[in-house]
Amino acid sequence: MNTDQRIKLNMCLTVRNTVTQNEAVANSIPKFMEQYLIMQNTTNEIQEIGKLQGADKTGIASDKNKLKQSLISLAAKNSRKIAALAKFINSDTLLKEVRYNERNLKDWAETTLIERAMTIYSNAEANIDKLAEHGVTPDCIFRNQLTPC
């Protein structure tokens, strides 16, 4: 919650404490209790939202960073394989589309990284027959395997 939200919440809590201490007076005011119940429900909702906002989100960011690092590693690994094929078959077009190192991949925004990884993957699938001749099988493409491909 920001400062304004905390101030408003504190005011609502103060009203609630005052009404609780002076319930007889509050009941004597016409239509006050109806509005007070609405305010009390809203205050409870604000507190619940505040709890959600205050929840620690570092685990989510950590997981996201791990996934990003994994994608970078796999994309760079496959980029090297397809770039080697592109050099072998003298395809400058293919080489320009897939030749990226880990440093390039780390520097890009996540959306650009995903696009580049998909380009690498698409080119790998399109050239899977040629890659198979060099020991790179469909099981090797974008899978985190312990056995070398």
Span 99-133, pLDDT tens digits: 998 998 999 888 899 999 999 988 888 888 887 77
pLDDT at 72: 92
pLDDT at 143: 57
Residues written for the chain: 149
pTM: 0.55
- Residue holding tokens 């009404």? 19
Low-confidence ranges of the chain (pLDDT < 70): 55-58, 137-149
Q: Which long-range contacts (CB under 8 A, 24 or more apart) does 134-138 make?
A: 134/81, 134/84, 134/85, 134/88, 136/81, 136/85
**Cβ 100 vs Cβ 75: under 8 Å:** yes
